[in-house]
Structure 1
C-alpha cells in the first residue's frame, strides 16, 4: 500500500494558499471609492474619466445590440441585455472598477456561451470575444490598473485567462464557433494592466517623494530655528552673566567700600550677592545643556556696534564695495540690542558676499526717539559669488527675525526694484513690557 510522503501536504498547501489569496483579492476592492484622477490639478483631468467611460458606454451599447442581433443572429432580448450589462458598467468603473469588472466579466462569459449554444457562430466570426467586448474590456482594464492592488490585478488577469482556456476547450476545432481569439483578450488585458499599474505606481512614488520633500523642508526650517534660538541663548548668557558678576562683586564689596553700613544693610548686600551667585550657577548649568553638542564656550566678550567697522572692512577685503554710516554719539545701548544689531549686520553682509558678490552695499546705524535703526542696502550683483564666508550664523533671515523678536523690535526685508536687497531692523533702546 503506497503512502503519501510527508512533503506532499506542504507541496499542496502552498498552491492552495496562493489560490485562496487570489480568490480573496477578487472579492476585496480598494478602500477608496473616489473617482479616478480625483486629485488631479486641473478640472478637465478630474472630469476626463467620467467623460471617456460615458462616451465608450453610449457608443458600445447600441453597437453591441445591433451586431449581436443582426450579425450573430442572437435574439433581440438577449442582445439588448448583453449590450447593457457589457457597456453600462463602464461608468461605474470610474469609482468602483472591481465591482464593474464582475458585472462585465460575467456578462462576457455568458455572452460567449450564448453565441455558441443559442445563436450558433459562423466560421470566421470573432468568438468568444466580440470586437465590442474586447474594446470595453480594455477600457475596464485601464480603470482597474489605476485603482486596484497588484494581487487583484493578477487575479483578474488569471480569471480572464481561465475564461479563454474554457472557451478553447469547448470550441470545435475547425468548425463553427472557432474564431481564434481565445488568447487575444488575455494577452491584451495583461499588457493594459501592466502598463496602467506601472504608471499608477510611478505617480504614487512621485507623490510620496514630493510629500517627503515637503516634510524635510519643514523639518529643516524647524531645526534651523531651534539652532538659532540656542545660539542666541548662549550669547545672551554671556551678556547677562557679565552683569550678574558685576552685581555679585559690588554686593560683596559694598561693606568695605561704604563706611558705616548698619548690620541690616550688610546682611541685605550679602543676600543680594548670594542670589546673584545662585543665578550664575543656574545659568551655567543651562549653558552646559545648550552646549552639549560639543560647541566650545566663547571666552571673548560678545561683540557689539563698536565692532561693526571691522565687519565692513572684512567685507571690503572680500571684494564687496561697502561703506558704513555710524554716528559717534549713539549713547548707551542695551547689551542685548547691541549684540543683536551686530549679528544682523554680520549676517546681512555675509549674505551679500554669498549671493550678490560685487554689489555696492551701505550700512547705516541711527539712534532716534528711543529706537535703534539698522539699515543694510545692497545693489544688484556685479560679479560671481565669492567663496569667502563670514562668521555669521548661516541661518540668514531666520536668525534676524528671532533676534528682532527677542528684543521687541521689527524687521523689514525684501528685494529692491533695481535688483538689490534691503534689510531694515528697528530695535528698542529701552526695555519693553510686552516683550516675552
Structure 2
C-alpha cells in the first residue's frame, strides 16, 4: 500500500530549515558588523537588568531604568566607536555607584550579575585592543576592586581577572601573528611573481643572445672562407669580404659583452672594454671601407672626455651612420665633433652627423617610423646630461646633433 504524504512533517522541516538559515545570516551579519551585536547585547542586558535588579538589591521602581542604563552604558560607549579603555572607565565608575545602592543581605557582591559580566567584558576588550599601559591599568584596578569590595568567597575573582586578561592577550597575539603571516605571504607571492617575470625576460634575452651570436658567427665564417670556396674573386671583392668579417666580429664581440652577463650564475662571461671617444676614427674608417661617402673632423681630445660620455657619443655616431646607410644609400655623410667653449675652456662637445639628400627614393628617417634608433640615441645622451636633436633638413637631408658635457659625471660606462 503506498504511503500517504505527510504535509505536516514537510512543513515543519521547511520551517526549521528556514529558521536555521535565518540564524546563520544573523550570525554572519553580526560578525560583519560588530557594533550591531553590541547594540543588541546592550538592549538585552538593559531588559534583564531592569527586570532582575530587585532580586539582588532593594531599590525603588523609579530607579530601575537609571541603574539599568548605567549598567549597559559601557556597551553603548563601545558601540559608539569609542576606545575600549573609555568603556572600562565607565564600567568602573558605575561599579563605584553601585556600592551605595543597598543590596540584599544574602547577595555576595555589590553589583548585579549583569553589571559584573559587563565589567569583565570591558576588561577583556581592553586586553584585546588597548595599549600596554591601558591593559596594565585595567588589570590592576579591577583586581584591587574585587579584592576590596567582594566577599571572601568571591575574592579569587581577582585572579580570574588576570586569567581573562591573559586570554585576551593570547587571542590578540594570535590574530596579529596571523595577520603578519598573511602579509608576509602576500609580499612573498608578489616577489615570486616579479622574480618569475625577471627570469622569463632573462631567458628570452639569453635566447636572443644565442640566436644573434650563432648567426653572426656564421657570417664571420662565411666571409672568412669565401676566398677559398669561391674561385676567381677579385682583390676588391676579397677586401669587401674582409671588411664584412671584421664588422661581423666586432658586432659579435659587442653582443657577447652586452648580453653575456645574462648567462646562468657560475658560467664564465667574456667581457671587453667599452668603446670610448678614441675609437671614433676606427668606426669612421670601417664605415668608409664599407662604401659610405664619408668625411669627418674630430676636434675633441679623447683625454678630456669622460668614459661614459665617450661611450654615448660612440653609440650615437654608430646608430647615425647605420641609419644613413640604411635609409639614404648613396648619400654623402659629414661628421663633425667640435668643442663648445665657455670661459676659455671646453665645457661640452657637439657631435653633428649630416646626411645629404639621397639620390634614391628612400624613406625619410623619423621618430615615428616605428624604430628605436633615435629614441635610443636620445636616452643615451640624456643619461650623461646632454641634449639630442634629429630631423630632416630643408634641402631634403637629415641631421643628428648631440651636445654632451665634458665634466665627469656618472653615466654609461663611467
Larger radius of gyration: 2
* TM-score, normalised via structure 2 length: 0.49
TM-score normalised by the chain length of structure 1: 0.46
